[in-house]
Amino acid sequence: MDKKQAKIRAEKLAKEINKLRYEYHVLDKPDVTDEVYDSLMAELRGLEEQFPELKTPDSPTQRIGGKPLDKFQKVKHAVRQWSFDDVFSFEELKKWEEKIKRMVEKISLGSKSPIGLLEPLEYVVEIKIDGLKIILTYEDGIFTQGATRGDGVIGEDVTENLKTIRSLPLRLKKDINCVVVGECWLSKSELERINAGRKEKGLPLFANSRNAAAGSIRQLDPKIAASRKLDSFIYDIDYLEIPNFKSQIPNKFQTQNSKSQTIYSPKTQMEELKLLEELGFNVNKETKLCKNIDDIEKYYQDWIHKKDKQDYGIDGVVIKINSISIQDALGYTGKSPRWGVAYKFPAEKVTTVVEDITVQVGRTGALTPVAHLRPVLVAGSTVSRATLHNEDEIKRLDIRIGDTIVIHKAGDVIPEVVEVLKHLRTGKEKFFKMPEECPICGGPVQREAVGIRSLRRRDRIPTESAAHYCLNKNCFAIEKEAVTHFVSKKGFNIDGMGEKIVEQLMSEGLIADASEIFELAKGDLEPLERFAEKSAQNLLEAIENSKKIEFEKFIYALGIRHVGEETAVLIARAISAEIPNSKSQDQNKSQILNYKIRNLADIIEIFPQITAEQWMNIKGIGEKSAKSLVEWFNNKENQKILEKMKESGVAVEVAERGAKGGKGKLKGLTFVLTGELESFTRDEAKDIIRKEGGDVSGSVSKKTDYVLAGENPGSKYEKARSLGVKIIGEKEFKKMI
């Protein structure tokens, strides 16, 4: 192939590669496989190596062609970069609009061109991407410089790293000069992949996708940036002109008609976004033109619920007046545009102060330190407490009373302390020490030995649990938490019997343990505060209705240590599976208890006979759970409690042999639930899945068949996407059942 033929071929290859790049990374409509794309790139790269003069600045091969830098060069922005002021509530948004309307009216009255009186005040609302702001310069349609925002006047030249972003065009569809602004971002699934690699190498993990994007853009070696699959959205034009044509149009654009091409000056923000698309940029499609701030609020509230379902971070919405002429008339303050504002989502991370640390005692006797916080709004709700888990966690974080801390809360997740801002300490902060006596009963407290840890073959040392335990089995706090657990929704589900009622009944001496709930009479309740005749009757009816209970819920309600909801389900399936005969080879004996359990009487008689080894024959039940089961059912006091329940008419429903997991519509399928469901609670959904023979898991893995996602899904949703696990909504789930 001679030079002339090579030039023609290289131009065709570059054009085709750019077309495929645009379809894949901007339109999200790939027409060919990666192998085809890579093959075309390899051919073009070969031609450029053979004929170096064919290599142009906008060639697709130049995306990863930069050499590692010693340092980044500072560059002055052609147009000053601003940041939007923030609002955090609809009331603040209304005040912003009122202020804007007053300014527009004032400008209109004093102007020969009364813009405010002639144009309606409309708004363009765009989602606010949580990434890194980038400023891109194009000359004659070719990408010549990319920079970070810096202080708004001076940024850093990161051109070579930005070239690695496939959604950024190296050549525009029109040969113009322009400066555009956008956001560089990293997908959540890519962040997970990067962090997995960093973890293997013992490197610190990126806290979030924004930090990872910023860290990638500031890599001195473009090859590292290229390996991280960055992406972009472009949303603004700072400067625009046709080469060789001067114009004095009185706004931020310099545009004009030319014989070879026509560029119309955008009159609105919506037209500006459309022009960016026409030039070949990746523009986020989730944009809306709103006639008033009520429409804005609806858009904002919708995105509070949808934001976590996207593969990129979103921390609010950006509101801009649609009219460019009104934007120009309003201008800027010393740091921000007057014509726009960022409406931020409720923060999931905030700072507050630890005012005290107290200890609460759970149903197993575990002592849990709790931080009492200066009340703070986080993720849409006011938080005043956060669990500190155990003494080891307090030492790890080095939390002291009086510290300024960072807390995190996502959706309905319990807030947790993620960091202590030690530089803000005054020296008056106080150390916390776990008590040596139970704060409720005064009984002795100690850590529990949980096993043997081997450092080397010859060194075997006993280990302790992270938690401290009250050793007084009759501690009021333990008994109260045990009864509260017993009546909870996942247990006997006694409506109207919450923690305060349980505490009241125990304090008055009406109940000492869970079995005595079923002995309560109307006369016991009516004299008590909060119990009028009707409320007493309602509670007694709820207690009566709860007496008929499914086996797995009954086991869970007993509050046996290390026996949670999933373990209870495993036991239920084991006792309801068919007992294989000696000739059968297709039954898994390891998942079946060879006992006939039909009711509570059978549980009382047979369960104390089951050994730890037999419990462990059930797949999924480990040594700790097996040991706890043996200890609980052989405890004389617990046996008395079961007898009293039987005498009170508690009926445990045990599925017939072969019923569980037999012909269910979901047999053999594993589900993970995340988010808020509308048609039923999570517990109801779990019950449906199990009754239809399916399994429910608490974590997503490659073995998961479906993730059932509702509103505001958490990290399980993203994990499912990264692993390729099928995600379904309630409509699809209902069709399956």
Would you state the structure tokens that stand for residue 369, as one six-digit string?
């330190």
Q: Give the Cα separation of 161 and 64 in Å (integer).
A: 8
Q: Is 522 a catalytic residue?
A: no
Please name the residue that has the structure tokens 């698309």: 277
Q: Identify whether the C-beta of residue 168 lies closer than 8 Å to the C-beta of residue 250.
A: no
Distance CA(215)–CA(210), nearest Å, equals 8
Taking the CA atoms of 574, 577, 581 and 587 in sequence, report the sign of the dihedral they define: negative
Query: What secondary structure letter does DSSP report for 326?
Result: H
CA distance 431 to 425: 13
Collect contacts of 526-533 with beta carbons under 8 A, ≥24 apart: 528/504, 529/504, 530/501, 530/504
Between helices 90-109 and 293-306, what is the axis angle to 10°?
Answer: 140
How many residues in total does the chain contain?
737
Q: Is the dihedral of CA 16, 17, 23, 29 positive or negative?
A: positive
Query: What's the distance, CA 140 to chain centroid?
Result: 43
Contacts for 147 with CB less than 8 Å, ≥ 6 apart: 75, 77, 134, 135, 137, 155, 156, 157, 158, 159
- DSSP letter (8 states) at residue 699: S
Q: Which amino acid is at 13?
A: L
Tell me which H or E stretch contains 21.
helix 3-25
Residue of 29, 128, 201, 719 with catalytic role: 128
Question: Minimal CA–CA distance to 81: which of 180, 183, 148, 153?
Answer: 153
Q: DSSP label at 674? A: E
DSSP string, 259-320: SS-B-PPPSBHHHHHHHHHHHT----S-EEEESSHHHHHHHHHHHHHHGGGSSS-EEEEEEE
Q: Are 348 and 379 in contact (CB under 8 A)?
A: yes
**Strand order from edge to edge, sheet including 695-697:** 695-697, 670-674, 706-709, 726-728
Active-site residue set? 128
